[in-house]
Chain A
């Protein structure tokens, strides 16, 4: 089986999202939302009539949805990877409206069913369980109101985010206390414990990712040292850590090939971080570079940063890393070369003497991103570079075409007739680029007898 790093790397090209992944993700979400209902059927209390039951069910699933809101806002790659962070955040917003409708339907149905329930709104006379329910509803109205009217109220984004998180916390905790105090359909101690444990887990995750980590990040500022335009419409941004001691005794570390979430020109508490691969050596983690191709949106805004500006980094993440002490063939196309550059820079800094090969696909001579860096790497290590250009300009004597199955087959056959020490068959393969190229290379390597365990790849997709 191919060892594939499943985390996405560079947020550049529009992603070919899988509808099946989206459907499965939605199915998992819906299952978690309605989970309290089948659990509530265990040791069931006597039914209280259809409408009362329905009202309770809507309250249960509404609360369950609010718990999951924390999970969706946590920017966890486990949650967001299958469908993309942008969809998750949009869905988060839509589900907030739906959950609000369901939660408010709970008391409204009861009020319509029996006006005596209106007595529970009495602030001084109502039982404690009702006071918690009213508090949850008021906090929920504030959450929605501030989200919808934030700009009209001229509320600062950071202030809104903090208010949003605190009010959301109040909603879930007070609603949970209401459920436990009422205790109907949640009579058993294990049922109550499960509700509390799940809510606590979601809240803890939200607090960790949205409050604790950004607070730590405030002291881990990276400063833009230089911004260099590269060939192929890419830009290399070099950053240095303002305070190398900010990451503790071990300092900041990453492995060549990994990526980090980056935020520029906004607070460390902002939601919109974006993932980019490191393109610099892991041997110098206090000074890192990211080579970013400009397309639209965030990639366009980040390449506009100026030296001296502050950038926040969340990471490193990713499993697309160097294998230990083996000759390698690195295969990339376009800006997919960035994690491979990080790997080669790291190996060069480590004084690696093993033979390395880089197959790099581009459109023409002018679109070879970081061409000079690649040339300088050749002087520092035993690196054989094969540029493959699909539309070369006049004067090109190298390989023309694409990195496809026939290219790989030809290279493998060529290596068999040459120096056995430089044979490609026993090497490990690290592939990063567009899906079509990666599929072709993986197919060709398998056909030429390369064992799947020798292949590592990372899909060049947008989060």
Chain B
């Protein structure tokens, strides 16, 4: 029972770390280089862009 609890907690901790890393990465990617939305000619394989209107 103790082992099962430990594994559940471990899974929860890993989930938090992994999702946190994904969110951080998604934000970082937008600021590290010029976003595709701001480019005259975005890369052809960029797909459908998620461009928020800027103020």
Interface residues of A (CB under 8 A from B): 22, 26, 29-30, 33-34, 37, 40-41, 44-54, 56-58, 61, 65, 86-87, 90-91, 94-95, 98, 102, 113-114, 116-117, 182-185
Shortest CB-to-CB span from A45 to chain B, Å, is 6
Collect the chain A residues with CB atoms within 8 Å of residue B13's CB: 26
Report the interface size class on chain B. Answer: 35 or more
Shortest CB-to-CB span from A365 to chain B, Å, is 35
Interface string of B16-55 (1 = CB under 8 A from A): 0111011101111111111111010011011111111000
Query: B7 is contacted by which of A37, A51, A87 (Cβ under 8 Å)?
Result: A87
Bound Cα distance from A51 to B34, whole angstroms: 16
22 residue pairs of the A-B complex, CB under 8 angstroms, read A30-B17, A33-B14, A34-B18, A41-B29, A44-B32, A46-B36, A47-B35, A48-B46, A48-B47, A48-B50, A49-B51, A50-B30, A50-B50, A52-B50, A53-B25, A57-B22, A87-B3, A91-B7, A95-B11, A117-B47, A117-B48, A182-B45
Bound Cα distance from A247 to B30, whole angstroms: 58
Query: A51 is contacted by which of B8, B19, B50 (Cβ under 8 Å)?
Result: B50
- How many A-B Cβ pairs are below 8 Å? 126
B52, A58: Cβ atoms under 8 Å?
no
Which residue of A has the minimal Cβ distance to B17?
A30
Collect the chain A residues with CB atoms within 8 Å of residue B52's CB: 49
A30-B17, A90-B7, A94-B11 as given contacts; A49 in contact with B49, CB under 8 Å: yes
Collect the chain A residues with CB atoms within 8 Å of residue B37's CB: 48-49
Bound Cα distance from A323 to B29, whole angstroms: 57
A30-B14, A33-B14 as given contacts; A57 in contact with B26, CB under 8 Å: yes
4 closest Cβ contacts across the A-B interface? A49-B50, A53-B26, A57-B22, A46-B36
B10, A22: Cβ atoms under 8 Å?
yes
A41, A52, A116 — most chain B CB neighbours (10 Å): A52
Bound Cα distance from A164 to B23, whole angstroms: 31
A49, B30: Cβ atoms under 8 Å?
yes
Bound Cα distance from A114 to B48, whole angstroms: 7
Shortest CB-to-CB span from B21 to chain A, Å, is 4
A47, B36: Cβ atoms under 8 Å?
yes
A46, B39: Cβ atoms under 8 Å?
yes
B43, A41: Cβ atoms under 8 Å?
no
Shortest CB-to-CB span from B20 to chain A, Å, is 9
A54, B14: Cβ atoms under 8 Å?
no
Query: A61 is contacted by which of B7, B22, B36, B46 (Cβ under 8 Å)?
Result: B22
Bound Cα distance from A29 to B13, whole angstroms: 11
A29-B14, A50-B27 as given contacts; A45 in contact with B43, CB under 8 Å: yes
B45, A184: Cβ atoms under 8 Å?
yes
B18, A26: Cβ atoms under 8 Å?
no
Bound Cα distance from A152 to B11, whole angstroms: 26
Which residue of A has the minimal Cβ distance to B13?
A26
Collect the chain B residues with CB atoms within 8 Å of residue A58's CB: 19, 22
Bound Cα distance from A381 to B28, whole angstroms: 71
Which residue of B has the minimal Cβ distance to A30?
B17
Which residue of A has the minimal Cβ distance to B21?
A34
Query: A91 is contacted by which of B10, B30, B47 (Cβ under 8 Å)?
Result: B10
Bound Cα distance from A117 to B22, whole angstroms: 21
B30, A183: Cβ atoms under 8 Å?
no
B18, A46: Cβ atoms under 8 Å?
no
A49, A50, A51 — most chain B CB neighbours (10 Å): A49
Collect the chain B residues with CB atoms within 8 Å of residue A116's CB: 48
